[in-house]
Amino acid sequence: MTSVEPPERLRKANFDDLYTSPDPRAYYRALRPLDYRVPHHGSGFFRSVLARLPVGDRVPRVLDLCCSYGINGALLKYDVEFEELYDHYCAPDAADLPVDGLLRRDREFFGPRGRSPGAHVTGLDTSAAAIAYGREAGLLDAGHVRDLERDEPSGDLVATMAGVDLVTTTGGVGYITERTFDRLFRALPATPGRSVPWVAAVVLRVFPYDGIARTLARYGLTTRRLGAPVPQRRFRDAAEQADALAALDRLGVDPTGHEDDGHFYADLYLSAPAAAHPALGIPAARRARE
Ligand SMILES: C[S@@+](CC[C@H](N)C(=O)[O-])C[C@H]1O[C@@H](n2cnc3c(N)ncnc32)[C@H](O)[C@@H]1O
């Protein structure tokens, strides 16, 4: 099985400190100048998948892996766009607020913007600070602090997974591999009539997804790459771009018109039962590497 290349083998900018701060201001301030926008592309993709899930009138339940401060949660639960989150968290009036003041300001901002039908969003991340913030701000309905690369899911996470309709992630693959997906899906109780959750993932092209796709196939999900690659963010410097180009070369992925223009690009993958794919009406990408 092809394993995912760990991020440390790429000279990829390390933003780990941003994910463990008590609030997301540093995250938005640091990533805006790099034109980081993958949650914008992810939310459009996830919303279109949510609209096609066979859940009837029920509010769909999402588990967002590597959720950080609940960025995808904000975009799925509320009628806001990613650019507005930059404006909101980088605004001068947010700069000097204590964390509880920022949380109050968030609740005032998001409260009236509830999306209908929206989604019930549970986050999973290794950062306790990010999960706590996302929950208190109302961007996550629930959260689990867990590293499934290392540990088995807790009983609470197993119970969450039993009710999940869609697993999502942006910017997560590379940190998480097939190990995380296998532990999550292996823990699913066999409930008669209950379908296996679908998986919608936005994945940097420097990381192969075939190991995760093969793992999900064992649980009855067929993976398709959809649409065209989307820009994730600008490379921080020439060394980061050179490493990305070398990683793509090893994978046999052509960077022309994409990474060679100075940005990381990501692919959109949807894993669902084979019979569900054709009815979705989401165009499949030309398969450049299978
Ligand atoms: C690049 S950020 C992505 C955040 C957000 N999803 C986005 O698109 O902006 C990666 C996140 O993965 C989390 N993370 C790293 N290793 C993880 C693991 N093994 N399991 C769960 N989360 C992890 C980090 O704490 C961080 O919040």
Average pLDDT per block of 10 residues along the chain, 290 residues long: 45 79 96 96 96 93 98 98 98 97 98 95 98 98 98 97 97 97 92 86 98 97 95 95 96 96 97 85 54
Cα(285) to centroid(ligand 1), Å? 26
CATH superfamily of 7-280: Vaccinia Virus protein VP39 (3.40.50.150)
Half-sphere exposure of residue 51: CA atoms within 13 angstroms, side-chain side:
11
Can you tell me the distance from the alpha carbon of 18 to that of 213, in angstroms, rounded to the nearest whole number? Answer: 29
Q: Is the peptide bond before 117 cis (omega within 30 degrees of 0)?
A: yes
Tokens of 197: 């959750």
Judge if the beta carbon of residue 85 lies within 6 A of ligand 1: no
Atom index in ligand 1 nearest the CA of residue 67 equals 6
Atom index in ligand 1 nearest the CA of residue 69 equals 27
* The amino acid at 112: P
Residue with tokens 């920022």: 102
Query: Phi/psi at 140 (nearest 5 deg)?
Result: -125, 140
Can you tell me the distance from the alpha carbon of 243 to that of 248, in angstroms, rounded to the nearest whole number? Answer: 9
What pLDDT, on a 0 to 100 scale, did the predictor assign at position 2? 36
3-state DSSP assignment of residue 125? strand
Judge if the beta carbon of residue 230 lies within 6 A of ligand 1: no
Q: Are strands 198-204 and 263-272 parallel, antiparallel or unpaired?
A: antiparallel
Cα(19) to centroid(ligand 1), Å? 7
Residues 6+ apart with CB under 8 A from 184: 63, 148, 153, 157, 161, 167
Cα(96) to centroid(ligand 1), Å? 26
